[in-house]
Amino acid sequence: MISRRDFLQTTMAASALVGASGFGNWARLAAQQALTQDQLLDFDTFGNVTLIHITDLHAQLKPIYFREPEINLGVGAAAGKVPHITGADFRKLYGIADGSPSHYALTYNDFTALAQAYGRVGGLDRCATVINAIRAARPDALLLDGGDTWHGSYTCYHTQGQDVVDAMNLLKPDAMTFHWEFTLGSDRVRDIVGGLPFPALGQNIFDAEWDEPAEDFQPYQMFERGGALIAVIGQAFPYMPIANPGWMFPEYSFGIRDERMQEMVDEVRAAGADLVVCLSHNGFDVDRKMASRVSGIDVILSGHTHDALPEPVLVGETIVVASGSNGKFISRVDLDVRDGRMMGFRHKLIPIFSDVIAPDPQVAAAIDAGRAPFEDQLSEVIGRTESLLYRRGNFNGTWDDLICDALITQREADIAMSPGVRWGPSVLPGQDITREDIFNVTSMTYGKAYRTEMTGEFIHTIMEDVGDNLFNPDPYYQQGGDMVRVGGMGYRIDVSKPMGSRITDMTLLSTGAPIEPEKTYVVAGWASVNEGTEGPQIWDVVEDHVRNQGTIRLTPNTSVKVTGA
Amino acid sequence: MIFTRRETLAIGAGAAASAFLPMQVNAAADDVIAAFTGGAEVADGGVDLNAPEIAENGNTVPIEVGADGATAIMLIATGNPTPGVATFHFGKLAGAHVAATRIRLAGTQDVVAIAQMADGSFKRASANVKVTIGGCGG
């Protein structure tokens, strides 16, 4: 909750900028008053090597709104540490003024008011402008894509990732690693990877049958930049076949494999690498642990958990850089590499304010050309929202509440389950909900909405299982998503307890009765990892619901009680 | 002690929950280990046990064990109904004291490797392998 003081300060800040809040040109003017492209790009070029990190784009080629999480609990060694600090505490930690552009970009408070002042974020054409500006200062900068790139939009789904591949290639990345890409199916992934003009990396991508490194992906790539030899080692998402449907890419096995990571570091050092960079899709807490177990990595460019940190986190002699998601940020890391060592660094997390940064005309034209055949479908207005729709957070977001409402009403279920993914842009109160908006929070290759019967005991098992993926005190046992979102059922969770005893007080909200272990409930959900799941596509379910409702108004969800944090 | 209705409900749910706790080391595993060691003391360390933190498929979990100078290594899935998985014997001419196999795990549990050394002493290593329903990857 925002304090009264927070609220007063931000309204003052916002009113100083705009005079009145509003959409369209007002927001644009406000953003331009507060910020300039030069300010966002301002950077004293340092050392002899520059890394540019973009990750977890989730196919968001156009500018969007994206609200950062309110609840992001850390457990075990990560308790109380970044990235598990949010809101006012986050701003205090980094000295961010209330109502400032960084407040809007990095924290959740007063999101609607600040969004009206500062406008949309991201857009790959804006990212291109930033990347080009960095390359103007350092022509041989390395652009590294942390993955979750070819997934997450209407056009990406309907082109099997081609629209994003084409747009990204215009940015000329130097290397990439992977996660959701594999949900396109292994044939499609190999098809795309075979044509990429840059290496596809993953030291932990193995052949499942032989338990040997997979031939289609190389573990690392060496680059000569600024007189230094740089090794970039790829680390794909370790829990692909567990968190996503393994039957879609049965030839591959993953895992953290930090022993092999150490072998690769030793191998590239022996080959003369002056700088070792790990392009990772581990998630932040896993990267922090890996940095403490594998020696000799200078920089970990961390993806997967969508955290955006204004400063790198130092673990021993390794810096861990987290660059956000959905095209909202790009990290620039300048390094002084001499005598086979990283001697110093300078870093900036650059927020992509879409109204401030001019789009790159070539990339903008390519994106629009890719969208043109789908424009009628994308822009069709399905309904309108009076509530802020967002997803990020450990337990529930309003988008998930809406999706669960849709599942319960459209599929006539007692209880709904929606996956705790971290992607999906926000929609502001007063905005139309278009088909594109619905796809942005539901698009996937296994989106069929199942309807099934489950006993109370099995529902509890699922809740405990997912809870442990998030709150196991050892990050190597976490998968990096958020808690499964539940509609129609309330519960209490003590995040400090071990698996099997975190979830209590499961209650059927429609009657207020406790969930009984032996009793059977009708459960509707989507994104099952099981092969052969049947049902309508989730985006059709949500579209029907939004169309029926016309205007979406959501009441605050208080059905999850959290303790132990 | 007087419980409120609310606490009573919570306790009831807690009792129900205990049925779903991860597999515990069962007596059968202790018996298998005792039969292998003859009750001798087992020192921690000196055995390499390579197992995934989370199994991609609980029905076929790749496990690798090794211990320099071992004459035999026993692999135990402590939470399986039949905990004894395999015992690998290494002869005097063995080039490497390493073995790899795939095992089936009934649920989240500790996998234990016990090595018998040439001098008759025993060493052990253990790894927790999680077997999960999956889904919900961010």
Q: Do both A494 and A360 map to the same domain?
A: no
From the CA of B5, how many Å to the nearest CA of chain A? 12
Chain B, window 42-101: residues with a beta carbon less than 8 angstroms from a chain A beta carbon:
50, 52-57, 62, 100
Six-digit token pair at A257? 């494999």
The verdict on B107 touching A (C-beta cutoff 8 Å) is no
What domains are there in chain B, each with its CATH number?
22-129 (2.60.40.2470)
For position A33, what pLDDT does the model report? Answer: 65
Alpha-carbon distance of A161 to A165, in angstroms, equals 6
Residues of A in contact with B107 (CB under 8 A): none
Q: Do both A392 and A330 map to the same domain?
A: no
- Report yes or no on A27 lying in a domain: no
CATH of the domain at A174: 3.60.21.10
CB contact under 8 A, A457 and B19: yes
Q: Do both A417 and A310 map to the same domain?
A: no
- Report yes or no on A280 lying in a domain: yes
Nearest Cα residue in chain A from B16: A517
**Could you say which of A319, A342, A369 is where a domain stops?**
A369
A108 close to A140: Cβ distance less than 8 angstroms: no
CB proximity list for B138: less than 8 A, separation 6 or greater: A243, A283, A304, A305, A306, A420, A421, A422, A423, A479, A480, A481, A482
- Report yes or no on A169 lying in a domain: yes
Six-digit token pair at A163? 């629209």
Residues of A in contact with B100 (CB under 8 A): 211
CB contact under 8 A, A242 and B56: yes
Q: Do both A155 and A206 map to the same domain?
A: yes
**Could you say which of A337, A369, A401 is where a domain stops?**
A369
Per-residue burial over A401-432, b if 16 or more Cβ lie within 10 Å, else e, is bbbbbbbbbbbebbbbbbbbbbbbbbbbeebe
Q: Do both A365 and A408 map to the same domain?
A: no
Tell me the residue type at B38.
G
A405 close to A385: Cβ distance less than 8 angstroms: no
Alpha-carbon distance of A356 to A132, in angstroms, equals 16
From the CA of A94, how many Å to the nearest CA of chain B? 26
- Report yes or no on A249 lying in a domain: yes
A534 by Cβ neighbours in 10 Å (0-12 / 13-18 / 19+) ranks as exposed
Q: Is the bond leading into A83 cis (omega within 30 degrees of zero)?
A: yes
* DSSP labels, A175-236: EE--SGGGGG-HHHHHHHHHH-SS-BB-TT-EETTTTEE-TTSBSEEEEEETTEEEEEEEE-
pTM for this prediction: 0.90
Looking at the partner chain, which of B14, B53, B57 has a beta carbon nearest the beta carbon of A501?
B14
Q: Do both A483 and A347 map to the same domain?
A: no
A279 close to A234: Cβ distance less than 8 angstroms: yes
For position A4, what pLDDT does the model report? Answer: 34
Give average pLDDT by consecutive 10-residue segment, chain B, 138 residues: 41 37 65 92 94 92 94 95 94 92 94 95 95 68
The verdict on A104 touching B (C-beta cutoff 8 Å) is no
For chain A, 565 residues long, give each residue's pLDDT as a single digit of tens: 333 333 333 333 333 322 223 333 444 555 666 788 998 899 999 999 999 999 999 999 999 999 999 999 999 999 999 999 999 999 999 999 999 999 999 999 999 999 999 999 999 999 999 999 999 999 999 999 999 999 999 999 999 999 999 999 999 999 999 999 999 999 999 999 999 999 999 999 999 999 899 999 999 999 999 999 999 999 999 999 999 999 999 999 999 999 999 999 999 999 999 999 999 999 999 999 999 999 999 999 999 999 999 999 999 999 999 999 999 999 999 999 998 899 999 999 999 999 999 999 999 999 999 999 999 999 999 999 999 999 999 998 999 999 999 999 999 999 999 999 999 999 999 999 999 999 999 999 999 999 999 999 999 999 999 999 999 999 999 887 899 999 999 999 999 999 999 999 999 999 999 999 999 999 999 999 999 999 999 999 999 999 999 999 999 999 999 999 8
- Report yes or no on A429 lying in a domain: yes
Q: Do both A292 and A425 map to the same domain?
A: no
Q: Do both A157 and A201 map to the same domain?
A: yes
- Report yes or no on A112 lying in a domain: no
For position A32, what pLDDT does the model report? Answer: 61
Report phi then psi at A176, rounded to 5. Answer: -150, 150
A154 close to A124: Cβ distance less than 8 angstroms: no
Residues of B in contact with A444 (CB under 8 A): none
Q: Do both A198 and A138 map to the same domain?
A: yes
CB contact under 8 A, B53 and A476: yes
Q: Do both A337 and A481 map to the same domain?
A: no
The verdict on A151 touching B (C-beta cutoff 8 Å) is no
- Report yes or no on A353 lying in a domain: yes
Task: Tell me the pairing of strands A329-338 and A49-54.
Answer: antiparallel
Looking at the partner chain, which of B50, B108, B137 has a beta carbon nearest the beta carbon of A481?
B137
- Residue A172's Cβ-side half-sphere holds a number of Cα atoms within 13 Å equal to 8
A466 close to A420: Cβ distance less than 8 angstroms: yes
CB contact under 8 A, B20 and A244: no
For position B21, what pLDDT does the model report? Answer: 41
Looking at the partner chain, which of A242, A474, A480 has a beta carbon nearest the beta carbon of B138?
A480
A537 close to A490: Cβ distance less than 8 angstroms: no
Q: Which residues pair with A418 in a beta bridge?
A: A485
What range does the domain containing A168 cover?
A: 35-64+120-369
For position A481, what pLDDT does the model report? Answer: 86
* Closest C-alpha among A320, A177, A245 to residue B134: A245
* DSSP labels, chain B: ----HHHHHHHHHHHHHGGGPPPPPPHHHHHHHHHHHTT--EEE-S-EEE--SB-S-TTSEEEEEE-TTEEEEEEEETTSSS-EEEEEE--TT-S--EEEEEE--SSSEEEEEEEEETTS-EEEEEEEEB--------
* DSSP labels, A478-547: --S--PPEEESEEEEEETTSPTTSSEEEEEETTTTEEPPTTSEEEEEEE---STT--S-BHHHHHHHHHH
Structure letter (DSSP) for residue A89: H
Q: Which residues pair with A121 in a beta bridge?
A: A64, A353
- Report yes or no on A111 lying in a domain: no
Count of domains forming chain A? 2
Residues of B in contact with A423 (CB under 8 A): 138
For position B22, what pLDDT does the model report? Answer: 42
Q: Do both A403 and A304 map to the same domain?
A: no
Looking at the partner chain, which of A241, A500, A504 has a beta carbon nearest the beta carbon of B22?
A500
CB contact under 8 A, A239 and B54: yes
Residue bearing tokens 């822009």:
A379
Q: What distances in angstroms separate CA A21 from CA A9, A13, A97, A388, one per listed residue?
A: 15, 11, 20, 16
Chain A, window 235-274: residues with a beta carbon less than 8 angstroms from a chain B beta carbon:
237, 239-244, 246, 253-256, 259
**Could you say which of A369, A403, A430 is where a domain stops?**
A369
CATH of the domain at A525: 3.90.780.10
Assign residue A59 a region (left: φ > 0; alpha: ψ between -120 and 50; beta: otherwise).
left
Q: Do both A471 and A360 map to the same domain?
A: no
